[in-house]
Amino acid sequence: MNRVAIFGGLGNQMFQYALAISMDAEGIPTKISVSDFLLNRHYQGFELIKAFDVPLPILDRVKASAMSKFRPLFVDTNTGFIKNAIKKLFLNNRNVYQEKMEYHFDEEVFRQAYSFLVGTWQSPKYFETQQQLIREVFNFNKPHDDLNLQLSSDISSSNAVAVHVRRGFYLEPTLTSSRMVIDSSDYYYKAFDIISNQVKNPVFYVFSDDIEWAKKNFKGKNFVFVSHNKGANSYLDMYLMGLCRHFIIANSAFSWWPAWLSSNDDKLVVIPKPWVRESDCPSIYPSEWLTIDVLTDRMQMV
């Protein structure tokens, strides 16, 4: 049986989980491992159970207490100690299979049988034959508070367009040099024009980890800035985005998923290209989505 490592933010976790359940559905026994969350803090932690009302095939429950006991020893993630310790405690001599190239489809993963699978697996090709299953699994838990319920109603009754601006974490100097942050409003205004030319009376709902940047740079359209879902409730932004009819997304899994999961047959999805500076990442783009070239001098690399 394989195990897929779950780590990162909610969007990443969804790609990893989608790989796991797709492989399992294809007859390749596969479960997930959440042991990484016992060692490291990722965004809001393990969010899949909180965001979706589905049973999750977690394999590490029994050994979680053992990992917690040894956690004080795992302090230097720049050494091989952490990998060796995880392998000893959790893998039972499984092979560690590392994704060959991030954001590119790696068909070799489907030939694994007793491996610990480590990667982001950000391509819809990994679950191409299980799309209906993925859509059923990623059915969001609904909000209960008045503000999100009102927003849900407003979005559902208008030609709502989800606009996602990703900045905060992308600006950290510790990120690899391949990651980009869209530091100009040009991409978004081109996308606004595309939507406005094809959609009657669009209302642009803006979601961002830097909402002040968005308020400063976005003018002249019917904008609604959504900024109240923070911390443990941040997954509700993804839920609200998914209610929109059209999408202007960032190079982020957090907005990729609502666009992909949308059941609107007439949806327009605008996506920046390239996804990362060093590669077009062709498998990340569904063929019907509209791309805008953002690799210009006004694109900031961090």
Tens-binned pLDDT, residue by residue, of the chain (302 aa): 999 999 889 999 999 999 999 999 999 999 998 876 666 665 677 889 889 976 666 555 434 444 444 344 333 344 344 445 555 555 555 689 999 988 889 999 999 999 999 999 999 999 999 999 999 999 999 999 999 999 999 999 999 999 999 886 555 554 444 455 566 689 999 999 999 999 999 999 999 999 999 999 999 899 999 999 998 899 999 999 999 999 999 999 999 999 999 999 999 999 998 888 766 778 888 999 999 988 763 433 33
Neighbouring CB atoms inside 10 A of 268's CB total 20
Q: What single letter denotes the amino acid at residue 115?
A: S
Residue 87: other Cβ atoms inside 10 A? 16
218-257 burial: b if 16+ Cβ within 10 Å, else e = beebebbbbeebeeeebbbbbbbbbbbbbbbbbbbbbbbb
Contacts (Cβ under 8 Å, ≥6 apart) of 134: 18, 21, 22, 127
Q: What is residue 34's predicted lDDT score, i.e. its pLDDT? A: 83
Return the CATH class of domain 146-301: alpha beta
Instruction: Please give the model's pTM, rounded to 2 decimal places.
Output: 0.85
CA 76-170-104 angle, 5° bins: 85
Residue keyed to tokens 């559905």: 25
In the chain, the N- to C-terminal Cα span, in Å, equals: 38
Residue 58, both tokens: 């977690």
Cα–Cα separations (whole angstroms), residue 232 to 47, 78, 151, 163, 171: 9, 28, 19, 21, 21
Give the position of tokens 């081109």. 190
d(CA 81, CA 224): 48
Give the model's pLDDT for residue 69. 42
Confidence at residue 291, expressed as pLDDT on a 0 to 100 scale: 93
Residues contacting residue 178 through CB under 8 Å, at least 6 positions apart: 276, 277, 278, 279
pLDDT, position 58: 58
Domain locations in the chain as residue ranges: 2-137, 146-301
